[in-house]
């Protein structure tokens, strides 16, 4: 299960993720992002409550990064040690901005 909440502040979009971002939940995040990403110049993922991310979830983050490369910046904040390890092992910590 994945809970997604989005807060917009001008051209900044903050996406809070809670639960598991995997094959069954990543389409929901992808659709929510597509519906809200127009005009966004700063995309922030707050993943302090994200317990797990699969390759499908990583693909959604990579897709968002590609969009934001053209229209602004993207940051991932408050990663747990478990999720940070997944970013490190997959090499995504070199591709994404993780604070």
pTM of the model: 0.95
Length reported for the chain: 99
Position 70 scores a pLDDT of 96
Position 64 scores a pLDDT of 97
Position 5 scores a pLDDT of 97
The total number of structural domains that make up the chain: 1
Mean per-residue pLDDT pooled into runs of 10, the chain (99 residues): 95 98 97 96 98 97 96 97 96 95
Q: For position 7, which CATH number holds?
A: 3.30.750.24
Position 86 scores a pLDDT of 95
Within the chain, residue ranges assigned H as helices are: 26-36, 55-71, 81-90, 92-95
Residue 2 in tokens: 């994945």
Position 1 scores a pLDDT of 93
- 82 lies in which domain range? 2-95
């Amino acid at each position: 299960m994945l809970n997604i909440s989005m807060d917009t502040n001008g051209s900044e979009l903050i996406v809070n993720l809670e639960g598991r971002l995997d094959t069954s939940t990543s389409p929901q995040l992808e659709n929510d992002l597509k519906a809200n990403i127009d005009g966004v110049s700063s995309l922030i993922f707050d993943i302090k409550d994200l317990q797990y991310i699969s390759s499908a979830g990583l693909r959604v983050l990579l897709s968002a990064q590609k969009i934001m490369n053209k229209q602004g910046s993207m940051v991932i904040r408050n990663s747990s040690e478990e999720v940070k390890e997944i970013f490190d092992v997959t090499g995504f910590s070199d591709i994404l901005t993780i604070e």
